[in-house]
């Protein structure tokens, strides 16, 4: 018997209309755990290096994490992996909610989609019974609407559905895959689903998931629950409220938005609005939110409440997750009510709530600058809010200017020309980012933003504080119960980190320390993404319940594999390197690895080069950021090295 995992993938070829249940190799679990790890392995093994994201040979993989469906709290992530139409690199977008556990209970670890259906279809997975069904009646339907219709059609109120809206059908580069209270948004995974002609996957599962050592596993899971309770009543002192707890940012619960509204840039990452958050604004926004929010809601088997059901006048009810609350509001420089309203439409259309508002604001800016004119945009409204609705509609339909804007700011700027490139100023690797504008370069974040493979920079923050604490006493207090550190030295790094003076940014943490810290942050993310555990309970917040010391115990108790910290580190490193190799093979080089030009006001070109150099070395990559043969050998991935060598991407140095 396989423990924790089911041991079976569902292989669906939409070109041929075939469905196969395929037993997987337990050896791959030992090498990569699951989730992102084995997803990456499938992509490496089976998708040609030069495949177009919009081609039948691109795979779209819905992978559950290794611990999904077990009693481990918060283990509910679906990791969607494919080649991104926007970045042209590997995309891996995670969603919480209820899909992954349901898929596990249906008896599958992954759904691997290949090919392309000539007509729109959906997939109905009901335990062992799997069918590809006609979805022509769902064409043009909203993502949430589709889910409801399918549950009714199949008479399965308990089925879980992932679906795309119009944006996905029309291959908008930043189309999302929606799942009620969660979505896989970054990297354009919804566009690939649309390209494949797949409107939705419906799953219902009623089978068991087994764990190898029940008593041990339950005691670990209970500890996690206890810790979550402890943290709820003991927020971390000395950090902004948003960083003091667990879960993803509690945007639906909090009202005080002074930090976001005054520190993030509005428009297309254009304007900081210092002094925006007045008492009057606070009052209106509070009222708007109180009226709109029906209930705070969770993902499967997690007590945190990071999402909400939202109901605003004249708009159907929907579910919202963290930041979409602010992204449309801030892009349009409008009020919160507008944000809640347009987000409903955008969610039904299925677009990424970071890229979509920024692209729309980008269009408005180009229009105001005279780069786009009434000729390009006939009928463009004069009212600000109406403009955003107008743009959203054009984009998801790929109509007129919308056809260009649907490719995201990077590609749209290239197509528009006339200086539009200067307005696409918030991208990393051709992808829109959080509209942050900061002062002094932070070496840790420089590395995470530049070299991260996840590409959405919101997704990579970690367990090490983002900024030094003011006083030594506060720092000493912080490290006292900081047992999550994988090594004691990190406490000292933090203790010595000062807001000003010699030991401050950008030269402290030193290059060497920065490499080690970033490596730790990354490692946790790669483990979470292989296990399917929510980053909000692990790699994302300070002092989380899951960490380097209890994860090996969880994995061992769940699977029966005997894993220690060193081995787990090695697996994380292997997965991280494999993702890098996939991207290297697709042309990712050092020159691509940089944050947006104006992300930090104060930049340090020499230091930045040094940071990249050292980090690459630390990771076992060459000066272009490509994994070396030796490091691939150490990670038991010689076949990757040989492939890279055969393609002339790395030279035979032996």
Contact between 117 and 19 under an 8 Å Cβ cutoff? The reply is no
Interaction of residue 71 with ligand SF4, rule CB under 6 A: no
Q: How far is the CB of 459 from ligand SF4 (least distance, A)?
A: 12
Q: Using CB under 6 A, count the residues that bind ligand SF4.
A: 13
Closest to other proteins by CB, 310 vs 395, is 310
- Phi/psi for 357 (5° steps) reads -60, -35
- Under the binding rule (CB under 6 A), the answer on residue 558 touching ligand SF4 is no
Q: CB under 8 A: which stretch of 200-208, 338-346, 407-415, 644-652 binds other proteins?
A: 200-208
Query: Of 355, 281, 361, which Cα lies nearest the Cα of 324?
Result: 355
Give Cα separations from 641 to 49, 344, 628, 649 (angstroms).
14, 46, 7, 9
* Range 301-340, binding other proteins (CB under 8 A): 301-303, 305, 309, 316-319
CA gap 255, 607 in Å, rounded: 39
CB of 210 to other proteins, least distance (A): 4
Residue 302 interacts with ligand SF4 (CB under 6 A)?
A: yes
Nearest to 295 by CA among 314, 310, 278: 310
Range 136-165, binding other proteins (CB under 8 A): 144, 148, 157
Distance CA 331, CA 37 (A): 35
Task: Decide: is 234 part of the binding site for other proteins (CB under 8 A).
Answer: no
Say how far apart CA 264 and CA 642 lie, in whole Å: 45
Query: Does residue 566 bind other proteins (CB under 8 A)?
Result: no
Determine the size of the site formed for other proteins (CB under 8 A).
Answer: 41
Q: How, if at all, do strands 121-126 and 198-204 pair?
A: parallel
Report in angstroms how near the CB of residue 289 gets to other proteins at its nearest.
16
Shorter beta-carbon distance to ligand SF4: residue 115 or 245: 245
- Residue 540: CB minimum distance to ligand SF4, A: 9
Told to check if 162 binds ligand SF4 by CB under 6 A, we report: no
Q: Token pair for residue 431?
A: 């992808």
Strand partners, 152: none
| C-alpha–C-alpha distance, residues 501 and 494, integer Å | 15
**DSSP secondary structure letters along 276-289:** ---HHHHHHHHHHH
Query: Is residue 298 close enough to count as binding ligand SF4 by CB under 6 A?
Result: yes
State yes or no: residue 180 binds ligand SF4 (CB under 6 A): no
* Identified binder of other proteins from the candidate list 41, 77, 171, 181, rule CB under 8 A: 181
The answer to whether 201 contacts ligand SF4 (rule: CB under 6 A) is no
- At its nearest, how many Å lie between other proteins and the CB of residue 320? 11
Torsions phi, psi of 44, nearest 5?
Answer: -60, -50
Rounded to an integer, what distance in angstroms lies between the CA atom of residue 14 and that of residue 115?
5
46 is an interface residue for other proteins by CB under 8 A:
no
544 binds ligand SF4 (CB under 6 A): no
Q: How far is CA 190 from CA 166, 173, 354, in A?
A: 10, 8, 14
User: Would residue 327 be called left, alpha or beta, if left means φ above 0 and alpha means ψ between -120 and 50 degrees?
Assistant: alpha
Using CB under 6 A, pick the residue from 165, 339, 350, 536 that binds ligand SF4: 536
Tokens linked to 503: 């030991």
Binding site for ligand SF4 (CB under 6 A): 74, 76, 96, 247-248, 298-299, 302, 304, 306, 534, 536-537
Q: Which residues bind other proteins (CB under 8 A)?
A: 69-71, 73, 98, 105, 144, 148, 157, 180-181, 205-211, 214-215, 217-218, 225, 228-229, 294-303, 305, 309, 316-319
């Amino acid at each position: 018997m396989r423990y924790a995992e089911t041991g079976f993938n569902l292989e669906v070829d939409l070109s041929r209309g075939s469905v196969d249940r395929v037993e997987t190799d337990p050896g791959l679990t030992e090498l990569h755990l699951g989730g992102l790890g084995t997803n990456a392995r499938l992509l490496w093994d089976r998708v040609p290096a030069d495949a177009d994201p919009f081609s039948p040979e691109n795979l779209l993989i819905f992978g559950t994490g290794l611990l999904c469906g077990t009693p481990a709290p918060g283990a509910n992530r679906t990791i969607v992996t494919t080649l991104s139409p926007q970045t042209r690199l590997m995309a891996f977008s995670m969603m919480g909610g209820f899909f992954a556990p349901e898929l596990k209970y249906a008896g599958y670890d992954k759904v691997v989609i290949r090919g392309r259906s000539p007509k729109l279809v959906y997939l109905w997975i009901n335990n062992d019974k799997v069918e590809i069904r006609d979805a022509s009646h769902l064409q043009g339907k909203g993502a949430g609407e589709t889910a409801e219709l399918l549950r009714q059609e199949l008479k399965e109120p308990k089925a879980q559905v992932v679906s795309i809206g119009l944006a996905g059908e029309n291959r908008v580069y930043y189309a999302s895959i929606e799942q009620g209270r969660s979505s896989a948004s970054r990297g354009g995974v919804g566009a690939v689903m649309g390209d494949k002609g797949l409107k939705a996957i419906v799953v219902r599962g009623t089978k068991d998931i087994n764990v190898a050592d029940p008593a041990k596993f339950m005691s670990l899971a209970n500890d996690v629950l206890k810790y979550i309770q402890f943290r709820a009543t003991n927020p971390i002192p000395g950090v902004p409220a948003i960083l003091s707890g667990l879960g993803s940012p509690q945007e639906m619960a909090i009202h005080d938005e002074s930090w976001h509204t005054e520190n993030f840039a509005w428009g297309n990452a254009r304007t900081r609005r210092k002094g925006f958050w007045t008492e009057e604004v606070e009052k209106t926004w509070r009222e708007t939110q109180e009226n709109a929010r029906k209930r705070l809601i969770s993902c499967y088997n997690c007590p945190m409440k990071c999402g909400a059901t939202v109901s605003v006048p004249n708009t159907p009810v929907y579910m919202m997750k963290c930041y979409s609350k602010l992204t449309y509001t801030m892009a349009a420089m409008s009020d919160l009510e507008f944000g809640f309203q347009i987000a409903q439409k955008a969610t039904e259309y299925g677009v990424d709530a970071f890229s979509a508002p920024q692209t729309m604001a980008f269009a408005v800016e180009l229009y105001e600058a005279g780069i786009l004119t009434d000729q390009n945009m006939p009928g463009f409204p004069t009212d600000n809010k109406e403009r955003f609705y107008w743009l959203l509609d054009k984009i998801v339909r790929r109509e007129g200017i919308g056809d260009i804007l649907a490719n995201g700011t990077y590609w749209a700027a290239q197509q528009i020309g006339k200086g539009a490139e200067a307005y696409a100023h918030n991208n990393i690797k051709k992808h829109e980012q959080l509209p942050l504008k900061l002062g002094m370069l932070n070496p840790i974040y420089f590395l995470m933003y530049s070299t991260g493979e996840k590409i959405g920079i919101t997704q990579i923050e970690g367990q090490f504080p983002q900024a030094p604490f003011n006083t030594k006493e506060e720092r000493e207090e912080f490290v006292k119960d900081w047992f999550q550190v994988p090594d004691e030295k990190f406490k000292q790094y933090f203790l010595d980190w000062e807001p000003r003076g010699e030991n401050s940014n950008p030269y402290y943490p030193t290059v060497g320390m920065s490499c080690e810290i970033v490596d730790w942050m990354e490692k946790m993310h790669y483990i979470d993404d292989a296990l399917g555990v929510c980053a909000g309970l692990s790699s994302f917040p300070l002092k989380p319940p899951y960490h380097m010391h209890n994860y090996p115990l969880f994995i061992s108790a769940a699977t029966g594999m005997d894993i220690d910290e060193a081995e787990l580190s090695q697996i994380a490193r292997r997965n991280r390197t494999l993702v890098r190799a996939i991207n290297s093979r697709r042309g990712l080089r050092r020159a691509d690895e940089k944050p947006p030009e104006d992300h930090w006001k104060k930049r340090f070109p020499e230091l930045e080069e040094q940071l990249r150099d050292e980090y690459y070395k630390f990771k076992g990559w060459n000066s272009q950021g490509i994994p070396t043969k030796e490091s691939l050998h150490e990670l038991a991935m010689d076949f990757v090295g040989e492939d890279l060598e055969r393609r002339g991407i790395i030279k035979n140095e032996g």
